[in-house]
Amino acid sequence: MADRETFQAVLPSILTDLEQDLTRKGMPEALTDRFLAPMSKGGKLNRGLIVLNTGHVLLHRPLTTIEIRHLSILGWLTEFFQASYLIWDDIMDASEYRRGQPCWYRREGVGLSAVNDGCLVKSSIMVILQQYFGNRPEYAQLVELFHEASFRTELGQLADMTTSDECNLAEMTMERYKFISENKTAFYSFYLPVALALQYLQRTTEQNLAIVRELLLHMGWCFQVQDDYLDVFGDPRVTGKVGTDIRDNKCSWIALRAFELCSSEQKAVLRLCYGRPDMGKEARAKEVFCQVDIEGVFRNFEMAELDNLEKRIEEVAGDHEPLKDVLWSVLEKISRRDK
């Protein structure tokens, strides 16, 4: 498995590279710290570590120093990608906390200039990508992956926001939910990190990319269902954030599945209370979720989906056998998580 300390040790040099690029462009020194601050915040680093770990498990040999560095850089660029979209997502959702700290836009002196901060974080990806991979044969494919991830994430965000703004719970569908979760979350969180490593190591074929895409998007969908559960029932001291899905009228698996199980009276309560910025109505909606035992329904769903993914990974064979270890390592990260 990838060493977290090894991965983290690469970040300072990336920030130094960006700082030097700013100096060459004449950036006032006083603004440099502000530019770099959103990229210096910690997190679970799961997406970045997946890139490095994919190299470890795929090659079945010790990685060279340059391979570790390059895979770690690609991992950090994935983390930058995540950071930029979280900045924007928190603004659009009017969220208060992220990872136990006030959201970036709520920090003193930041406000809506956070929109531009998110743009700068994302633009930094291309600066570093060109610096380290511009002369490599896989450069165009790496750039293309980030562009596709951007478009897919933004499509998912569009579907998420318009559903929350324009639809009531009775009009939301599982089909819409799956589109949102696969595009807004699954593509960049699961497929992008593995695909970056495969492209860098030049281990890609049309067929093996199709295999990992199908399975990793399914894992990402399961991850989003878990996230929906944790938003409502998770412990903020563990998750690091206060859930807002009920009052934000989110198209979530928890809400959709609970609505399917409700009696007509319970559906009436959810129509009245779901998606309302009122703590009392939020509590009533959550009470209905408990009445239909949505926690138990979720646990059964989670167990069945994880079992299904395990079986599908075992079916990967032939020339694609080396991908099994990669897929197992990613699945391990989402199995019965609590944050």
Rounded Cα distance between 301 and 229, Å, is: 11
- pLDDT, residue 30, reads 84
Burial of 134 (0-12, 13-18, 19+ CB in 10 A): exposed
Tell me what the mean pLDDT of segment 63-90 comes to. Answer: 97
Q: Is the pLDDT of residue 42 over 70?
A: no
- pLDDT, residue 93, reads 85
- Number of Cβ within 10 Å of residue 98's Cβ equals 21
- pLDDT, residue 3, reads 85
Q: Residue 120 in 3-state DSSP?
A: helix
Buried b (16+ CB within 10 A) or exposed e, 41-53: eeeebbbbbbbbb
CA atoms within 13 A on the CB side of 171: 10
Tell me what the mean pLDDT of segment 129-136 comes to. Answer: 98
Q: Is the pLDDT of residue 213 over 80?
A: yes
Counting residues of the chain whose pLDDT is more than 90, the rounded percentage is 84
Give the model confidence (pLDDT) of 172-184 as tens digits: 999 999 999 999 9
C-alpha closest to that of 78 among 139, 21, 130, 121: 121
Of 166-180, 189-203, 302-316, the least confident: 166-180
Give the model confidence (pLDDT) of 312-326 as tens digits: 999 999 989 999 999
C-alpha closest to that of 268 among 163, 167, 166, 170: 170
Cβ neighbors of 45 (< 8 A, separation 6 or more) are 4, 7, 8, 75, 79
- pLDDT, residue 338, reads 84
Tell me what the mean pLDDT of segment 137-143 comes to. Answer: 98
- pLDDT, residue 98, reads 85
- Number of Cβ within 10 Å of residue 306's Cβ equals 16
